Chain A
Amino acid sequence: MRKIMLSMIIILLIFSLTSCSLDRSNPLDPAGDASIKIPGKVMGLSYFKEYSPQNSIILRWSELPDADGYNIYRAYSLQTKKELIHTLEFSEVTEYRDIDLIYSGRYYYYWVSGYVDYPQGRLEGKLSDYIIVVF
């Protein structure tokens, strides 16, 4: 009887300790704060190229009504780190012209995401599907 009690206490102790989980303490985490709404995923990302007056890539996408703005990312390959190249402060603006092109004949990968501003910070939504541009 004593051994059974001891075993039960041990099992209860292990169970209670393993069931403890980490707090959702990030103020922008929707799982911790139900009032936080995640901006949707940017859809319809497309591009076209311009060669004059200077080489540039123009990106366009569909407007996100629940977003306060957009972040535009670029990388030279899928293995390299994405670089935030610009932040658009208005959700109505759904176009961006990238003129910071280094080499012609190079691959450029682009992603766009929407964000929402909260008093506790800026919450960025899911990144769009990437597009590849060969300039």
Chain B
Amino acid sequence: MRVSTKLRIIPSLFLLLLSCSLLYSQGPSPVQELSNPYKYNWHEESTRLDFRDSLTVSTSLLDDYDNLKQSSWTNALKSAVAPGWGHFSIGRNTKGQVFLISQIAILGTSLYYYERSMIHYRKYRNATNIDDINEHYDNAVEPYRRSNLFLGLFFVVWGYSIYDVMSETNRYNGELWNQIVEEEISRHSSIQITPTGISWRF
């Protein structure tokens, strides 16, 4: 009988010790942490208000950035659908024009050679003389190879334009953030240099 009582007490003690150790190891809750103003050097009310203002400004800047920034995947899709579209979206008009013109020119050249090849190929398919069969086939093969070469080149330029628009969009987003921050800094500085002149705020 005594032995069985001891056996019951030992697990109960173990559980009690375990719960106590867990309770002490947790430390202060996040609410307790936040309520401690000394952790953030909020010794005075003014520092707290300054922090709040800074947080508001940061949130506002991030909101502006989120509204104006562009997705690199969306621009990649645009450039995949229509050459140069992604570049035009981020204001890289020269690059957009270069990609648009080059891809149209390369694809046009490929189609030109393909059509030339098909003219001879149609003659080849209808030919009944062995000399005509061989001649028309040989005449069809060379422009067909050139057509494929230009088609391959088109895919290379197409792929590069997608890669380029993604990196350009990332650069654009970086520049956008810098611009937003600079505008904010210049708005709060006493001297403002604008295209219309220099203003001094007292």
Contacts and interface: CB of A to CB of B under 8 A. Distances in A.
User: Is B one of A's binding partners?
Assistant: yes
A53 interface: no
B145 A14 contact: no
A17 interface: yes
Interface string A19-33: 011101110111100
Interface majority SS on A: helix, strand, loop or mixed? Answer: loop
A89 B20 CA distance: 113
A25 B125 contact: yes
A25 B140 CA distance: 13
A130 B57 CA distance: 95
Interface stretch (A43-51, A93-101, A120-128): A120-128
Contact of B152 (A18, A24, A124, A125): A18
B133 A14 contact: no
A21 B144 contact: yes
Given A22-B117, A22-B137, A29-B137, A38 B152 contact: no
A28 B131 contact: no
B90 interface: no
A127 B156 CA distance: 46
A8 interface: no
A78 interface: no
Given A123-B130, A124-B129, A26 B152 contact: no
Interface string B119-149: 0010011111111010001001100110011
Contacts, number: 60
B77 interface: no
Contact of B125 (A10, A26, A30): A26
Interface string B151-162: 111011001000
Interface in A105-129: 113, 115, 121-127
B63 to A, nearest CB: 35
Contact of B148 (A20, A28, A122, A125): A20
28 contacts: A10-B159, A13-B152, A13-B156, A17-B149, A17-B151, A17-B152, A18-B145, A18-B148, A18-B149, A20-B148, A21-B144, A21-B145, A22-B121, A22-B140, A22-B141, A26-B124, A26-B126, A26-B133, A26-B137, A28-B128, A28-B133, A38-B130, A122-B128, A123-B128, A125-B130, A126-B130, A127-B129, A127-B131
Given A21-B145, A28-B133, 14 more contacts: A13-B152, A13-B155, A18-B149, A21-B144, A22-B141, A22-B144, A26-B124, A26-B137, A29-B124, A31-B137, A115-B128, A121-B128, A122-B128, A127-B131
Interface of B: 117, 121, 124-131, 133, 137, 140-141, 144-145, 148-149, 151-153, 155-156, 159
Interface of A: 10, 13-14, 17-18, 20-22, 24-26, 28-31, 38, 113, 115, 121-127
